């Protein structure tokens, strides 16, 4: 009864591909909102995306994190318990903290990325709770493209790990996407350890770890440096804020989830770099407000910036970091920026706020290195191939106009022979064209703005990096 893959969601599939959705779980978050924060003395901020197969327990873990960090009171939980029972989804009450839409609660699945905030000793976190269902992969991509680190949730319950891991399951697809989208570190949480089929079994935990390691490695993660496994129960909150009791799990000597999150290291970003903030959404509120994440550089009240690709000159009227008004904000922060000099109707998701001195390039064509994952029905990949390009917050139709070189997977060097078509698994260099100007960067300059995915008919077919902007650049 737990598998909902067969729920009919086709009608929403097309919509999901074109409109990425996000929801703020702010009604529950009891933050103090001082007028001005001491922005320079704040703890570091990280976005953490929870990913993994449908029903693995991502929303339950997100809800439990908020409960354990004191942001949801008992009355609210009791209300959710009652509501979940009425919908015959008793065990889903914890997920209701993150799944706030009626549709999500009735079906018991996440559709829109849920957003919530919590803090540990060293870090302010924004949790992005991604949907696991395959119809909503575009929303997952949007969540992952904003994240520094990922919590990959795997259900240890008998049969569930297997379904998620097999071909067509979202465990593999999410890992590959997360890596391409710049999620540099993964905490792999083996969840549902309390389930009667698992009962905190070390054998089951070891089996999952042993199967996941080679796959994570082949997806590009350095398993020793960038990946950490731990067992938890999201539903019971075990091994999350405090270490699991020895009477429950005698063999675990590692950290709990909060400790692991606290200790995770990510490369620092350059606050002095040219300002770049891809726009995820916009709205009208005493002027035009844009939402997004600063990927590079610092923004200060009063700054002049360009909204690219239209080169509209704007002035920064106010900066909000999470819910707080700040004078200045650095890279890595999720921001709302109030602007003057532009109408909200002249902004689209995918536009980039950019420094005037060093604006981001806008192109209709670029050269990319592409790894073909899985083509539909083993199709052939050749010039003329069309797909949907997802790069930071851009979603655009694109066409492969020329295959330039094939890369030898062994030597990682270009092969000599001319390449006209390739199949699954190939790595190629090719020229990609879009109809409208898009703002992107070379992967080597700004990794977050230079990696992308290609999708067709609801499936990820390839992942890539931008290697050259020479063709079509307006700067």
Residues that bind Mg ion (CB under 5 A): 58-59, 110
Smallest separation (angstroms) from ligand GTP to the CB of 20: 16
Pairing of strands 185-191, 227-231: parallel
Smallest separation (angstroms) from ligand GTP to the CB of 218: 24
Q: What's the token pair of residue 7?
A: 């729920």
R_g (Cα) of the chain, nearest Å: 22
Partner whose binding site includes residue 55, from ligand GTP, Mg ion, none (CB under 5 to 8 Å by kind): ligand GTP
Q: Which is nearer to ligand GTP, 248 or 467 (CB)?
A: 248
SS3 275: coil
Beta carbons within 10 angstroms of residue 306's beta carbon: 21
Smallest separation (angstroms) from ligand GTP to the CB of 51: 9
Smallest separation (angstroms) from ligand GTP to the CB of 211: 19
Smallest separation (angstroms) from ligand GTP to the CB of 13: 15
Partner whose binding site includes residue 471, from ligand GTP, Mg ion, none (CB under 5 to 8 Å by kind): none
Q: Which is nearer to ligand GTP, 110 or 171 (CB)?
A: 110
CA 55/CA 72 separation, integer angstroms: 22
Task: For residue 6, give every residue at least 6 positions away whose Cβ sits within 8 Å of its Cβ, in sequence order, or none.
Answer: none
SS3 116: strand
Residue number of the CB closest to ligand GTP reads 132
Partner whose binding site includes residue 60, from Mg ion, ligand GTP, none (CB under 5 to 8 Å by kind): ligand GTP
Q: Which is nearer to ligand GTP, 55 or 441 (CB)?
A: 55
Partner whose binding site includes residue 338, from ligand GTP, Mg ion, none (CB under 5 to 8 Å by kind): none
SS3 460: strand
Q: Which is nearer to ligand GTP, 148 or 194 (CB)?
A: 194
CA 7/CA 14 separation, integer angstroms: 16
Contacts with ligand GTP by CB under 6 A lie at: 54-60, 91-92, 95, 108-110, 131-133, 153, 191-192, 194-195, 233-235
Smallest separation (angstroms) from Mg ion to the CB of 331: 29
Q: Which is nearer to Mg ion, 125 or 366 (CB)?
A: 125
Q: Which is nearer to ligand GTP, 235 or 361 (CB)?
A: 235
Furthest C-alpha separation in the chain: 68
Task: For residue 58, give every residue at least 6 positions away whose Cβ sits within 8 Å of its Cβ, in sequence order, or none.
Answer: 50, 51, 52, 98, 110, 129, 130, 132, 151, 153
Cα 57 → chain centroid: 16
């Amino acid at each position: 009864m737990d598998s909902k893959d067969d729920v009919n969601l086709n009608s929403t599939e097309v919509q999901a591909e074109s409109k990425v959705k996000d929801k703020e779980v702010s009604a529950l978050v009891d933050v103090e909102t001082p007028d001005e924060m001491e922005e320079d003395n704040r703890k570091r901020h990280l976005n953490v995306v929870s990913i993994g197969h449908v029903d693995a327990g991502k929303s339950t873990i997100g809800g439990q994190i908020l409960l354990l960090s004191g942001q949801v009171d008992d009355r609210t939980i009791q209300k959710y318990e009652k509501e979940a029972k009425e919908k015959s989804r008793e065990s889903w009450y914890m997920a209701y903290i993150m799944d706030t839409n009626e549709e999500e609660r009735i079906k018991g699945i996440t559709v829109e990325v849920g957003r919530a905030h919590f803090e540990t000793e060293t870090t302010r976190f924004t949790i992005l709770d991604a949907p696991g269902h395959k119809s909503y992969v575009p929303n997952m991509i949007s969540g992952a493209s904003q994240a520094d680190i990922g919590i990959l949730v795997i259900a240890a319950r008998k049969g569930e790990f297997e379904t998620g891991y097999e071909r067509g399951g979202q465990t593999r697809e999410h890992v590959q996407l997360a890596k391409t989208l710049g999620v540099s570190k993964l905490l792999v949480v083996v969840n549902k350890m309390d389930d009667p089929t698992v009962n905190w079994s070390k054998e089951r935990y070891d089996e999952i770890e042993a199967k996941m390691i080679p796959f994570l490695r082949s997806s590009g993660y350095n398993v020793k440096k960038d990946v950490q496994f731990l067992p938890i129960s999201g539903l019971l909150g075990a091994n999350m804020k405090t270490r699991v009791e020895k009477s429950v799990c005698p063999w675990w000597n590692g950290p709990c989830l909060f400790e692991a999150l606290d200790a995770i290291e990510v490369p620092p970003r350059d606050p002095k770099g040219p300002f770049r903030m891809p726009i995820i959404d916009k709205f009208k509120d005493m002027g035009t407000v844009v939402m997004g994440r600063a990927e590079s550089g610092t923004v200060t009240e009063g700054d002049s910036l360009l909204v690219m690709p239209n080169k509209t000159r704007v002035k920064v009227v106010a900066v909000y970091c999470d819910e707080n008004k700040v004078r200045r904000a650095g890279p890595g922060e999720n921001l709302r920026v109030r602007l003057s000099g532009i109408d909200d109707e002249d902004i689209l998701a995918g536009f980039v706020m950019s420094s005037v001195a060093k604006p981001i390039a806008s192109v209709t064509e670029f050269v990319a290195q592409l790894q073909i994952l899985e083509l539909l029905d083993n199709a052939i990949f050749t010039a003329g191939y069309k797909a949907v390009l997802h790069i930071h917050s851009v979603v655009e139709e694109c066409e492969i106009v020329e295959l330039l070189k094939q890369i030898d997977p062994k030597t990682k060097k270009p092969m000599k022979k001319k390449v006209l078509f390739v199949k699954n698994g190939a790595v190629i260099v090719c020229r990609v064209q879009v109809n409208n100007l898009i703002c992107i960067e070379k992967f080597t300059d700004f990794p977050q703005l230079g990696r992308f995915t290609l999708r067709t008919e609801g499936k990820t077919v390839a992942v890539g990096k931008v290697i050259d902007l020479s063709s079509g650049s307006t700067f």
